[in-house]
Amino acid sequence: MTFRMTRRGFAAGAAGLLAAPMLPRRAEAAGSIVAAAFPGSWEDAYRTIMAPIAAEAGVDVTIAPALAQDQVGKMMASGGTPPYDALLVSPGQTAMLQEQGLIDEIDPSRLQNWDLLIDSAKTPLGPHVTVEVNGLAYNPETVPKPSGYRELFENPAFEGRFGVQGFGSNTATMAWAEIAKLYGGEPGDMQPVFDLLREKIDWIGAIGTSGNAIRTMYRQGEIDVFMASTGNVARLRSLGLPCEFAHPQSGSPAIPVAIHMTKGASNPDAVYAYMDAAISAEAQRQLAEPPSGYIPTNSEVDFTEIILEFVTPAQLANAIYPDWATINKHRAEWTAEFDRAVAM
């Protein structure tokens, strides 16, 4: 078959291309939505596992990579025409989105799998699809297993070997909140952390600006310990790197990840279908396997070997869930102060 292009056809095509950005963003095919996912392993997992499952339900999902905080920013900037139909965020962002009126409550009766969810995963704004358990990722070949956050700042074995991030990251924010407690801070008081940072700034191996940057450092052998979720560790292992997960003695901060429907979503039916797929046993069973190793929220799905290696159901039950309202209130101020504490 030959492809013949007439001048008229070319002109029409070119005009279409030029006009494309001005057209309504989403294709009009039935059941097609744009869903945000965190860049990196989440994006990969959702594209390879979730999208096909949703497609079976007749929903064409485009996975758009965006950090939780960026999703909030883009939603705030969109002025009534949301760039996403479904968001993937954690409670900190959920609170902000709710406050700004950017997400809608859902109707649980539209989700067939709703009743299979564990109780804590059922929220009025949407289902939790997993709980990330946080702790410390370390390289067993180069450093001893850290007992907790405090040891990182005190055992010379970790001097210059661990990497941290600022308050832009949820993982880091939760870790800093724990560290503040360990060094005598009341809830909402981050001063002990800033004092510690100022005192031990040269002790810290690397202060990165994103999770990806920190993980790249780890892969390059620049650092051997960092604040991480179990998912991060599973991912690095799947790349063939030696990596272990350590629960801090003070407890492991945990953070659920939820899917929300944006206000003004183009196709609520399709979003429901997508949510339903995300909490289905089929999807969660696959996502619980390497490389993602996400902890399931569907009660029918058992913890897989890789998850059990990091977290037992008992450990999950004892996990620490930070107070995101307090964090959100102080986040701006902490972010600014963090810059000042670490800047050269």
Q: Which residues bind other proteins (CB under 8 A)?
A: 67, 69-70, 72-73, 76-77, 165-168, 201, 206-210, 213, 216-217, 220-222, 331-332, 335-336, 338-340, 342-344
How many whole angstroms separate alpha carbon 249 and alpha carbon 97?
Answer: 33
> Among residues 318 and 326, whose Cβ is nearest to other proteins?
326
Tell me how far, at minimum, the Cβ of 153 lies from other proteins, in Å.
17
Q: Note whether 198 and 192 are within 8 A (CB).
A: no
> Among residues 205 and 296, whose Cβ is nearest to other proteins?
205
Go through 185-216 and write b for each residue having 16 or more CB atoms within 10 A of its CB, e for each that does not.
Answer: beeeebebbbebbeeeeebbbbbbeebeebbe
At position 260, the amino acid (one-letter code) is H
Tell me how far, at minimum, the Cβ of 336 lies from other proteins, in Å.
8
Tell me how far, at minimum, the Cβ of 138 lies from other proteins, in Å.
17
> Among residues 170 and 304, whose Cβ is nearest to other proteins?
170
> Among residues 317 and 343, whose Cβ is nearest to other proteins?
343
> Among residues 1 and 18, whose Cβ is nearest to other proteins?
18
Pairing of strands 126-138, 225-229: antiparallel
> Among residues 158 and 167, whose Cβ is nearest to other proteins?
167
Q: What are phi and psi of 179, to 5 degrees?
A: -65, -40
Instruction: Provide the H-helix boundaries in 105-254.
Output: 149-154, 170-182, 191-200, 211-219, 230-238
Tell me how far, at minimum, the Cβ of 164 lies from other proteins, in Å.
8
Closest by Cα among 253, 254, 228 to 241: 228
Tell me how far, at minimum, the Cβ of 17 lies from other proteins, in Å.
16
| Tokens standing for residue 327 | 């964090």
Tell me how far, at minimum, the Cβ of 243 lies from other proteins, in Å.
17
